[in-house]
Amino acid sequence: MEVQAQSQIQQCDVLVIGGGPAGSTIAPLLVEKGYKVVLLDRARHPRFHIGESLLPANLPLFERLGVAEEVKAIGMVKPGAEFVSTTHGMAQVFHFAEAWDKSMPHAYQVQRAEFDTVLIRNAARKGVEVHEGCKATAVEFLGDENVQVRARHEDGREQTWQARFLVDASGRDTFLANRFGIKHRNPKHNSSAIYGHFAGAKRHEGAAEGNITIFWFEHGWFWFIPMPNDVTSVGMVLWPYHMKTKGARSLEQFLRDGIATCPPLAERLKDAQLVHPVEATGNFSYVSERNHGRNYLLLGDAYAFIDPVFSSGVWLAMNSGVIGAETIDACLREPARAGHALQRFDQLMRLGPREFSWFIYRITNPIMRDFFMYPKNIFRVKEALLSVLAGDIFGKTPIWRSILIFKGLYYLASLGQPRRAFMAWKQRRFNIRKVDDPAVYNA
């Protein structure tokens, strides 16, 4: 990118690319610390986004951002998560109120169009200079430690900003990781998803109405996420080899055919009508080699995304915004502490994907399914598991010994059933193998 005349270049302390949960969290937190922050989002809000089930650990952050009441107004209370196993012929509900820390008994489920709008409007209200419909197109790291970003507005106008620090919160577009060539497909995981919104789905009664339900089926699993106004998000997460069997069927037909193979879900959708076109996302599991440099950070999905099964994406994205704000403040205010601050940022960014992925990689394993169907609380392992499911992994809740015991019990159970464990390992290797991109995602 050629550098523009200084007079045309706008100055700011921090430029944030992306106004999803990560970008709309870090931006107002930096304004509170006294920085001039510009945020660009190529979309205009409200805009559709998948990822509607939130975690209890998010609630204190809503308070801190000053959006708790607005989120409550658009959210469906989610007291727990239900897992349905057709092979066991039963369901098991995990209530967040039984987690180790009893102070976070529920989360919310939200339409992301509304939720992301609440967050980005909050950022603007707090003093962030927000430009919607403005796409970052090029970046140049200057020798004087500043960074220039060029962007294009919807009307074709080009604009350039010079910042002391750059935040990439561009989500799955992975703006910086693409330019650096550091984004890699996750060799340990491989999934695709097809999803739509339904009205008239059969929900549980009372408080259980807001529970997320996960249904395992032969080729993966389904989510069933009740939201306000009778809208329920239903998604089929499947191994990519199965996606290839779609053939000439439309995405909607493929989803409906999949639902028909899972009787407990089909029963809950038998009177439901689709109210949003079916969409799909392919091979979404990836990680970037690094999440920071001297004057830039990669947050949320712009750094890594593993799998949606534990609804961790929005929480990890927003939490990366919190630790990102602390990191940038340390770098700009006390340059001598920058190295230490960036190292801490790196550790915390890797913690979330690491802890969730141990469970994600095993969630379709039959031995793990036994553990989920018949949970026991010896050595408080169930409480600790619930804390992970609640997203309570960054604080001081002392769950780690019990999590270690949970993992030990799982390995012992696998050693006790070697044939079953071996077959499951073999099946997983088959499931996650790389297949050519079926190119059906927008069909």
Ligand X SMILES: Cc1cc2nc3c(=O)[nH]c(=O)nc-3n(C[C@H](O)[C@H](O)[C@H](O)COP(=O)(O)OP(=O)(O)OC[C@H]3O[C@@H](n4cnc5c(N)ncnc54)[C@H](O)[C@@H]3O)c2cc1C
What is the binding site for ligand X (CB under 6 A)? 17-23, 40-43, 49-54, 135-136, 169-173, 175, 193, 235, 281, 284, 300-302, 305, 308, 311-315, 317
Helix, strand, or coil here: 220? strand
Find, among 164, 179, 212, 175, the residue nearest to 333 by Cα: 164
Find, among 6, 116, 39, the residue nearest to 71 by Cα: 116
- CA separation, residue 213 to residues 209, 210, 420 (Å): 10, 9, 26
- Residue 59 or 421 with smaller CB distance to ligand X: 59
Q: How far is the CB of 11 from ligand X (least distance, A)?
A: 19
- Residue 50 or 91 with smaller CB distance to ligand X: 50
Contact assessment for residue 306 and residue 190, using Cβ atoms and an 8 Å cutoff: no
Q: How far is the CB of 275 from ligand X (least distance, A)?
A: 18
Contact assessment for residue 58 and residue 110, using Cβ atoms and an 8 Å cutoff: no
Q: Could you tell me which residues come within 8 angstroms of residue 62 by beta carbon, excluding any fewer than 6 positions away?
A: 68, 71
Q: How far is the CB of 356 from ligand X (least distance, A)?
A: 11
Contact assessment for residue 389 and residue 310, using Cβ atoms and an 8 Å cutoff: yes
Find, among 114, 162, 116, the residue nearest to 15 by Cα: 162
- Residue 221 or 371 with smaller CB distance to ligand X: 221
Our measurement of the distance from residue 279's CA atom to the centroid of its chain's CA atoms, rounded to an integer in Å, reads 17
Find, among 390, 321, 439, 245, the residue nearest to 24 by Cα: 321
Contact assessment for residue 184 and residue 289, using Cβ atoms and an 8 Å cutoff: yes
Q: How far is the CB of 379 from ligand X (least distance, A)?
A: 29
Contact assessment for residue 308 and residue 356, using Cβ atoms and an 8 Å cutoff: no
Q: How far is the CB of 303 from ligand X (least distance, A)?
A: 8
Q: How far is the CB of 164 from ligand X (least distance, A)?
A: 19
Measured distance CA(151)–CA(190) in Å, rounded: 33
Q: How far is the CB of 294 from ligand X (least distance, A)?
A: 22
- Residue 320 or 414 with smaller CB distance to ligand X: 320
- Residue 45 or 380 with smaller CB distance to ligand X: 45
- Residue 98 or 132 with smaller CB distance to ligand X: 132
Measured distance CA(175)–CA(228) in Å, rounded: 33
- Residue 360 or 424 with smaller CB distance to ligand X: 360
- Residue 283 or 402 with smaller CB distance to ligand X: 283
* Length of the chain (residues): 443
Cα angle 310-312-313, degrees, rounded to a multiple of 5 = 130
Contact assessment for residue 155 and residue 174, using Cβ atoms and an 8 Å cutoff: no
Q: How far is the CB of 185 from ligand X (least distance, A)?
A: 14
Q: How far is the CB of 120 from ligand X (least distance, A)?
A: 8
Q: How far is the CB of 137 from ligand X (least distance, A)?
A: 7
- Residue 320 or 397 with smaller CB distance to ligand X: 320
- Residue 285 or 402 with smaller CB distance to ligand X: 285
Find, among 91, 97, 78, 49, the residue nearest to 268 by Cα: 91
Helix, strand, or coil here: 195? strand
